Amino acid sequence: MNFRVLRKARVLRDIKTRETVAMTELIRQAYRYITRNEQISPRIRQQAQLMLNSFPRAARPTTIKNRCTETGRGRGVLRESKLCRYQFRLKALAGEIPGVKKAIW
């Protein structure tokens, strides 16, 4: 199996998941508020819970995994730069990340 294709597929899947979560976040928050509000009738709360459960799996914020934007690696990803530790090191040594340089002491 070609790892470049697999890596690109993972990155594309992650991008699609992030877009889906962003599109449905406001509606999800509204349904969650309804389900947790005890002043609303139980029937309406149950319907809101069913609507929440009918959302696609990719619309859940917990399915988002930080991935390296260069390689698609899922481990050792630095949040600020969105790069894995190895790519961060390569770019830092090449001077491509502003404000980052190798420490000398």
**Positive or negative torsion for Cα 55, 25, 27, 39:** positive
Residue 3, pLDDT score: 56
Residue 69, pLDDT score: 82
Residue 44, pLDDT score: 93
Instruction: Report the chain's C-alpha Rg in angstroms.
Output: 20
What are the C-alpha distances in Å from 93 to residues 50, 53, 59, 73, 98? 52, 47, 38, 20, 11
Residue 26, pLDDT score: 93
For domain 66-105, the CATH superfamily is Ribosomal Protein S14/S29 (4.10.830.10)
CATH 3.40.50.880 fits 1-65, yes or no: no
* Residue 84: exposure state from Cβ atoms within 10 A (0-12, 13-18, ≥19): buried
- Written as one letter, the residue type at 21 is V
66-105 has the same fold as 1-65: no
**Model-level pTM?**
0.68
Q: In a structure prediction context, what are the per-residue pLDDT tens digits for the chain, which is 105 residues long?
A: 555 666 678 888 888 888 999 999 999 999 999 999 999 999 999 999 999 999 888 888 888 888 888 888 888 999 888 899 999 999 999 989 898 888 888
**Domain boundaries in the chain?**
1-65, 66-105
